[in-house]
Every structure is written in structure tokens, then in C-alpha cells.
Amino acid sequence: MLNTRFKTLVEDFSRHKNIDALLLTNDSNIRYLTQFPACESWALVTKTKAFYITDSRYVLEARQGLKGVAVKEYNHMPCATLLELCKQYKIKRLGFDERYTSFALWKKLKEFFPRKPKLIPATGMVESLREIKDEGEICQIRECLKLHFKAIDFMKKVVRPGLTERQIAVKLEGFVRSHGAEFSFQPIIASGPNSCFPHARFTDRVIRNNENVLLDFGIDLNGYKSDLTRNFFLGRIAPSVRQVFEALTLAQREAISLIKPGVACSTVDQQARKVLRKFKLAKYFGHSLGHGVGLDIHEAPRLSSQSTGLLEEGMIVTVEPGVYLPNKFGIRVEDMVLVTKEGNEVLSGYYHNQ
């Protein structure tokens, strides 16, 4: 028996794509459908059945953990197992996700399936389901944020001049791990001039007094993720730093105020840039405004000038304007926002940037 998520997927592909079955090769997509922590595996979804194709390293966990999905173990070559299943279920047109199928794998599939099934590109079918979070998923992300807030509180006690960025990372990681979670991505702990690199990691630099420290990290609990950036200001804050911070806070607030169902993702991005333009800071804001968060730390939708989609109820996005002044400093403010029926809820809202 296929679960509701599988059924929705099958309805979608039966309606929109002329395919009999869909091959999935992305762990997060498979995890979403099966609610099992998929790892280096494939899934085949026919109109009535789902298969999980894995090797000996993972087969025992898969058999114990998967409900309503048949587990098939392959030896050396998942293509052969896939071909057998396609024959058995008379699959004539097999959808595959172009983004998670390398050109090399596509060629190999073509070798295995010289005539049937025909390979049909079918991209983003699971991702589009994943854009809209259900109650259970929203609850999971709230759990991540609860622990995230605790971690920020802990950091308030930890971050002091004299410590290195790495020492702070070690303490933060210990906190996160000992609470049964892990980082959803490699944390960014960037002090003083290091903060001007949007994707800094952490170094052995000693944090000094009167500096800003940018902390961008995320909590992963059972696959779901959080993503927030906070800026710690130690000692006196230079007026230039304060001005940038205030401009960003305003840009973020104005962008968030537009978030509701039906609004274009690009409009939200543009609004933040508009505010920063007034402060002559827009040219230092190089990346896009935000991204969806769920089983992946970056997923659909994107809040970017290039985005073509509209916001919908149930989406969860980051809103993270940043300003990076080369060789001086960088600041980013980042919160997570849920699109609600009437507008939005800042999931990390009651926990302000300090």
C-alpha cells in the first residue's frame, strides 16, 4: 500500500507526464516519500508499488525501517535490478530526474534499456511536493528551532574576546551533538574582517574586543533543518557596523512584510534590495535573499530576482539579506518564515537578532 505522499506523486505523474513509473536517485526525495533516512539508494515508483533499491551495506536497516515499500538488494549494479523490475511491471516509459542523474548514469541506463523502457525527463516532481510543508513537517522544523534558540543562548555565554573561532565551533558542536542533533551544514563562525566572506567557515583567528562575530548555523533533527544567522557585537559597536546592521534589519522586515500566498518570490527579493539601495548598500548584497528549508538546507522555492514562482501557504523560507564590505566586515540577518493562509509567521521571530 502506497502512503499518501506516494499516491499524490503517482497522481501527479499520471496526470502531467506520460510515464508509467518514476526513478528517484536523490536521497532527500526518497526520504520525503518513504520517511526513511535513505542513503545512496534508488527508488522506483510505479502506479501501484514502490521499490527501494540498495546494496548489502544498507539492506538490513532498509528492511527493518521501510513500511509499504519493497526492498530490493542489488549486487554491483543497480541498473540490472532496475531493469528486472521494469520488465516485471511492464514499464514502457520511465521518468528520471535530470538534475540527479549524471550524464554518465543516463548513458548507462540507455545501454541497459536500448528499447524499453523509454527514458523520459521528469524533473522536480518530488521537489514540488516538498515545497509545501505539512503540519508534521512544520512541527519538526519548530523542534529544530527550539534547540537552535537554546544553542544561541548557549553561544551568548560562550562568545568572548580571546577565544578563537574554532574554539567556539567546538563548543557549539558539542552542545548540538549532546542534544541529539547535528549541524545541518558546516557552521560559519566569522569574526571581524573574516565576516566579509559570505561563506566563511571558521579559522584559528582570535576574536578581539569591539568586533562583530557572525554565526550562521543550522540544526538537523531527524533530517529536518533550521538555518539562522545571528551577529554578536562584542564591546563597543562601531557606528559603521551599527548602520549596516540597522539597514539590514529594516530590509529584512520590509521583505518579510510582503510574504503571503500569491506574492512572487522575486518581489520579496527586490524589496530587500530596494531598502538597501536607499542606504547605498545594495551593491554589497551579492547573493539572493533566501531559500526554502526542509529535508535539504537549500531547497525550493528560492527568493531571488530570477525566481519565477509564487509563494504558497506552507512554504518555509529563509530571509537573509547581507552586506559584505571587502576587507572590512560583513553582516547578515537571517530568519525563517512560514507562509500562512493570510500572511506569514516568522518562526524565529520571537528570538531577535541581538
The answer to the question of residue 152 lying near a second copy (CB under 8 A) is: no
Interaction between residue 210 and a second copy (CB under 8 A): no
What is the Cα–Cα distance from 248 to 266, expressed in whole angstroms? Answer: 18
CA torsion 160→348→299→268, rounded to 10°? -110
Cis peptide before 301 (omega within 30 of 0): yes
Among 15, 114, 162, 178, binds a second copy (CB under 8 A): 178
Best CA proximity match to 231, nearest among 220, 244, 250: 244
Which helix (H) or strand (E) covers residue 324, if one does?
A: strand 322-325
Q: What is the distance between the alpha carbons of residues 98 and 325, in angstroms, rounded to a whole number? A: 38
Mask 9-48, x = binds a second copy (CB under 8 A)?
Answer: ------------------------------x---------
User: In 3D, which of 195, 319, 205 has the Cα closest to residue 258?
Assistant: 319
For residue 204, the 8-state DSSP code is S
Q: Which is nearer to a second copy, 23 or 69 (CB)?
A: 23
Q: How far apart are alpha carbons 39 and 170 in whole angstroms?
A: 27
The neighbouring-strand residues paired with 257 are none
Q: Return the range that interacts with a second copy (CB under 8 A); candidates 139-147, 176-184, 229-237, 336-344.
A: 176-184
114 interacts with a second copy by CB under 8 A? no
- CB of 104: closest distance to a second copy in angstroms? 4
Task: Output the DSSP codes for 230-258.
Answer: EEEE-SSPPHHHHHHHHHHHHHHHHHHHT
Q: What are phi and psi of 84, to 5 degrees?
A: -55, -45
Q: Is 110 in the site for a second copy (CB under 8 A)?
A: no
Contact status: 113 vs a second copy (CB under 8 A):
no
Q: Closer to a second copy at the Cβ: 89 or 112?
A: 112
Q: Which range binds a second copy by CB under 8 A, 79-87, 99-107, 212-220, 269-277?
A: 99-107
Q: Should residue 252 be labelled a site residue for a second copy when binding is judged by CB under 8 A?
A: no
In the complex, the smallest distance separating the C-beta of residue 196 from a second copy, rounded to whole angstroms, is 7
The reply on whether position 217 binds a second copy by CB under 8 A is no
Q: Which residues contact residue 138 at a Cβ distance below 8 angstroms, ignoring those fewer than 6 apart?
A: 314, 316, 338
- Using the minimum distance from each CB to a second copy, give the nearer residue, 143 or 312: 143
Among residues 16, 87, 99, 277, the one that binds a second copy under rule CB under 8 A: 99
88 binds a second copy (CB under 8 A): no
# chain residues binding a second copy, by CB under 8 A: 40
Q: Which residues bind a second copy (CB under 8 A)?
A: 39, 55-58, 60-61, 76, 96, 98-104, 106-107, 121, 123, 166-167, 169-170, 173-174, 177-178, 180, 196-199, 204, 286-287, 305-306, 324, 326
